[in-house]
Amino acid sequence: MKGELYANKTRHPRKARAISTSLSQRALVSLRGRLKMSRPPKLCLVCSRGGHLTQLLKLEKVFSQRSHFLITTTGEGQAAESSHFKKIYFITDINEWRWLKNPFNFLRAILQTLRIFFVERPDFVISTGSGIAVPSFLLAALFKTKSIFVEDGARVRFPSRAGKACYYLADLFFVQHAEMCEELPDAIYQGALCENLVSDL
């Protein structure tokens, strides 16, 4: 799918913005059409704490109006975060190093995520990273659940390890800098993170 829709390598930032906006709109319409849903979709939001969660919260106006739940890791600020999401699940922390170095924790995170998927049965998986996204995107690919990955805005030239993995698993892969399209030719550049990435779902 991505190869058919996003074959263009975008080099000039302004040109990239115009091309990718059109392509992303077409892709979102295609995703919604193939889903053929008779009800509003349920969104699975996945991200680790810190900057990744901050970027996800920029989409709050979008996901707050839809059925959704968050998968994240335990830590400080749980009480403050609870006010932004309808439901929160906590799984094993596997940042970009841990899921490579500790396969047992990675397997545990997959099993925890699998249980959540069976309970919630999401229609879309949306993530801003980091490593915690990989189990959800693996399962989304397995169950043919549509998925959208938004690479960290701090990544200007090269993707994160989680981004490299999810690039091959996601239905849509957004980057926030045009230069990233040189490294990931099937990625979509639409400027900085904005609500219309998922507003048409």
> Region 157-171: what's the mean pLDDT?
87
How many CB atoms are closer than 10 A to CB 78? Answer: 13
- The structure tokens listed for 175 are 């980057």
Write down the pLDDT at residue 152: 76
- Predicted TM-score of the model (pTM): 0.76
Which pLDDT tens digit goes with each residue over 56-73?
888 887 788 889 999 998
pLDDT at 147: 93
What CATH code is assigned to 2-31+41-58+86-197?
3.40.50.2000
pLDDT class for 55, splitting at 50, 70, 90? Answer: confident
The per-residue DSSP string of 27-68 comes to HHHHHHHHH--SSPPPEEEEE-STHHHHHHHTTHHHHTTS-E
Average per-residue pLDDT in the chain? 75
Average pLDDT over residues 73-83: 64
Helix (H, G, I), strand (E, B) or coil at 112: helix
Q: CB neighbours of 15 closer than 8 A, spacing ≥ 6?
A: none
Per-domain residue ranges of the chain: 2-31+41-58+86-197
Sign of CA dihedral 69, 75, 76, 79: positive
At residue 168, the pLDDT reads 92
pLDDT category at 33 given cuts 50, 70, 90 is low
Residue 34 has pLDDT above 90, yes or no: no
Instruction: pLDDT band for 145, please (50, 70, 90 cuts).
Output: very high
Cβ-proximal residues to 37 (8 Å cutoff; 6+ apart), any chain? 123
pLDDT band at residue 183 using 50, 70 and 90 as cut-offs: confident
pLDDT at 24 over 60: no
pLDDT value of residue 82: 65
Q: CA nearest 125: which of 70, 82, 186?
A: 70
Q: pLDDT confidence of 137, banded at 50, 70, 90?
A: very high
pLDDT, tens digit, for every residue of 107-124? 999 999 999 999 999 999
Cα 98 from chain centroid? 19
> 24 or 94, which is more confident?
94
Give the contacts of 87 (CB within 8 A, at least 6 positions apart).
68, 69, 70
